[in-house]
Structure 1
């Protein structure tokens, strides 16, 4: 499995640690190969050890590329609900063309033999991660030194780039950097604006929409809800409505993983919906005194909300790790939203097809929802099917790269706005929430009011009041 020149210490002990020098510099980077082996061996042997180690170490943290490959494959197999005992792991590695590169079945056996107990995996994973951070700091130091000696950058630029390098490493080692709350980000959003337990008797999590809650009894733990629409229909807006109902109205922690929009855009939508300030006013900075007063009234509730947002991580493994870490830190986590599914990648290996890749992702998200006992709302794009029909209303077979999406989803919720196709429609301002699949109940079409100028949807009765 060695990919770097190996040197053994002069200690006569047969168990002397392996040491690898950088072949280009001849220097010895921070490393603990034995901890890398124990980490991987523990992950092979035990599912809980995989979760614990995955929370502490990333594939790129390993010194040996073969170890990084093994980590990715183990995590992907566990994510699909598969066992990783040696025969199955070797079979998967052989299928991927990686078995001989990592050293064959003998290397797998040696990893397992290195494990004193699977419970020690997380401890050794922390050591692996610490060595990786130390290596990154050393590499950053070399780059900063080279840039400083070159004398080609202005001092301000040199200092800025150096700080950015160190900051990127520091944030990458801090779990708190995975998700941020409105309270920690709203100040920068407001600056950007100025510059340019539900109590309802539901068995699940309240969505904020009376008729939808009545139909579903709320989103249930373990459910995968696929929320799909053509671009521009408002699926991200509806997803944020769910998050607002969960975390601002009911103070239940929720997570919003945005692969499309940045923190400021999400915060502006949050402010617009809660304070009833026009989203276009916030984007342009054309905020009146009355708008600021509305924002001030709602800001305490918004910034206190346990709404955790991240815009980082677009691979399935990274998303799973982030959600598990958040669940471990906040066991009461009640909702996860992923915006959107087609932007998620498997990572680590090429898929047979994009449809197969999306299918594996949806299946893994369903298993994660069951494991963590919370609903996961995965946004998805529809194909052009509705535009090809006289009746533009979507159906669940319009799901792009659908694969097993329909099979895995407990609820398929489709959005349709008649006025998106006919601006003069008599149904202007109305939005249909089409429950096209409901594993545990009836399907129906629920009509709500479109208040996209406030970046939200509301019940029809609320809109008329």
Structure 2
């Protein structure tokens, strides 16, 4: 029993520390004070829930004022609160900590019920004691906090409604590229999409084009995590694409007279986008989860697209230090978990290995993705960008980029061709149907 309580306390401390670091998570919490061990952890969670219900901010100063300086020992004291905040490795594990806490709460309660059955079986009729004890145990199992009972009926009704009232060919977030949308039916929520290419082929430009198209519509919002380029540089590239202004003119601040009117219009368009750009280098999965959760709250009612540029630059867990394959595998799993848990679509850009350069046909394939094993497994869609004129300057397919869908869990694979206006960093629809592989 002692070991169970100790282990429970460790999980409780992780949960409480997460709430102190990211207070808005308290709005999603399923854990109740009675699920925690008696004492400071129980009292602290009860205090945080009460403060949230009254609209009070959750921070160290507010908590101290709320409980009173003479009573702060009831929740462990200020040093304990600080210790909780510094001990949390990742806020992305919040739901997992809740499950651990409830599992151990059930164990403690089951042991307590078993002890009551034992005592009553000695003092009363054994059959009555067993019957009452079983009812208590079943009640404990039914109160797991998980509302999903596995019923299929509601989903069957929704499937019928979807078929009876079709919304058209596009069921997800439209990219604005006609044939690509037709092939994928849009970018689906809860999907992890990998877009991979060799350097300078156009990954970032492609992602920015999609971000601009998506976030210009009122019902959508986009978050970009740029681990390679500063936010200002991305905005310059968006202004070039949006205003049809030569990227070199913007980069060197040598705008032609005709460009100023275009720039003004482009500035107006970009400023109205439902768009957030986070440009902290070396960002962790933990930080990405935190920012995405906040976007979900800020853009309530909108479908969210998250773009990460690029996957291999995310800082992984220290426990995998020295093993890059394991590090990338965990990052890939966590991105897929985030897409499911937060109900967002995630596009992660990825580098390709140099192996593609060694083949005669340099069109990328699955094995060309760096540390590809887990990525290939986790991704719902994998797309490659290929430009023939990247390798052959005399190519007949100048300024044509191929979007090669190498994997699509719920749809066809094949190739879509787009025109690439390099001087603007802009992709444009071509009147050409994709060919299914």
TM-score by length of 1: 0.61
| CA positional deviation for 1:63 | 6.1
* Alpha-carbon distance between aligned partners in 2 of 1:410 and 1:81, rounded to the nearest angstrom: 27
Residues 342 and 381 in structure 1, CA contact (< 8 A), matched pair in contact too: yes
Q: How does 1:117-196 map to 2 (within 5 A)?
A: none
Q: Does 1:413 align with 2:430?
A: no
1:367 aligns with one of 337, 340, 343: 337
* 1:35-434 pair list within 5 angstroms: 39-40=16-17, 48-49=28-29, 67=84, 70-72=87-89, 75=91, 77-78=93-94, 83-85=99-101, 202-248=170-216, 252-312=220-280, 314-331=283-300, 332-351=302-321, 353-434=323-404
Deviates more, 1:207-216 or 1:312-321: 312-321
TM-fit CA distance, 1:83: 4.6
Indicate how the Cα distance of structure 1 residues 431 and 235 shifts in structure 2: closer, same or farther if over 3 A, else same: same
Deviations 1:216-264 (A, max 9, x none): 1100111110011111111011101110110125662111111111111
Q: CA separation in 2, counterparts of 1:382 and 1:68? A: 38
**Aligned counterpart, 2:71:** none
Shift of 1:289: 1.3
Measured at CA, do residues 56 and 373 of structure 1 come closer, stay the same or move farther in structure 2, by a change above 3 Å? farther
Q: Sort the Cα spacing of 1:63 and 1:421 in 2 relative to 1 into closer, same or farther, 3 A.
A: farther
Whether the 8 Å contact between 1:320 and 1:368 is mirrored in structure 2 is yes
Contact 1:362 1:408 in 2 (8 A): yes
Equivalent residue for 2:405, pick from 413, 424, 435 = 435
> Is the 8 Å Cα contact of residues 339 and 378 (structure 1) preserved in structure 2?
yes
Specify whether residues 386 and 244 from structure 1 end up closer, same or farther in structure 2 by C-alpha distance, changes over 3 A only.
same
Structure 2 partner of 1:446: 416
The 2-side partners of 1:461 and 1:250 are apart by 27
Q: Distance between the aligned counterparts of 2:177 and 2:355, measured in 1? A: 28
Q: Distance in 2 between matches of 1:413 and 1:48?
A: 34
Q: Aligned pair in 2 of structure 1 residues 422, 80: CA closer, same or farther (>3 Å)?
A: farther
Q: Please, which moves more after superposition, 335-344 or 394-403? A: 394-403
The 1:442/1:37 distance shift into structure 2, 3 A limit, reads closer
What secondary structure, in the 3-state scheme, does the structure 1 residue paired with 2:427 have?
Answer: strand
Secondary structure, in 3 states, of the residue corresponding to 2:382?
strand
Structure 2 stretches lacking a partner, 5+ long: 1-11, 21-25, 32-44, 49-56, 61-77, 105-166, 433-437
| Shift in Å, 1:435 | 0.2
Pairwise CA RMSD:
3.4
Q: How far apart are residue 78 of structure 1 and its match?
A: 4.7
Query: Taking structure 2 as the reference length, what is the TM-score of the superposition?
Result: 0.64
Unaligned runs of 5+ in 1: 1-34, 89-198
Contact (CA 8 Å) 1:333, 1:374: kept in 2 or not?
Answer: yes
**Does the C-alpha gap of structure 1 residues 353 and 282 become closer, same or farther in structure 2, counting only changes over 3 Å?**
same
1:307 shift after superposition: 1.0
- Work out whether residues 225 and 279 of structure 2, in 8 Å CA contact, stay in contact via their aligned partners in 1: yes
- Provide the residue aligned with 1:4 in structure 2: none
Which whole-Å CA distance do the structure 2 matches of 1:254 and 1:275 have between them? 20
The count of aligned residue pairs is 312
- In structure 2, the residue matched to 1:129 is none
In the alignment, the residues of structure 2 paired with residue 232 and residue 390 of structure 1 have an alpha-carbon distance, to the nearest angstrom, of 20
Counterparts of 1:56 and 1:389, CA distance in 2: 58
Describe the SS at the equivalent of 1:206: coil
Conserved in 2, the CA contact under 8 Å of 1:449 and 1:458?
yes
1:312 CA displacement: 2.0
Q: Tell me how far apart the structure 2 counterparts of residues 452 and 235 of structure 1 sit (CA, whole Å).
A: 12
Q: How far did residue 373 of structure 1 move?
A: 1.6
Q: Can you list the C-alpha shifts for 1:5-27, whole angstroms capped at 9, x where unaligned?
A: xxxxxxxxxxxxxxxxxxxxxxx
1:202–1:218 Cα contact (<8 Å) kept: yes
Moved over 3 A (4+): 35-38, 40-43, 46-53, 55-58, 62-70, 75-88, 347-352
Q: Which residue of 2 aligns with 1:164?
A: none
CA contact (8 A) 1:230 1:381 kept: yes
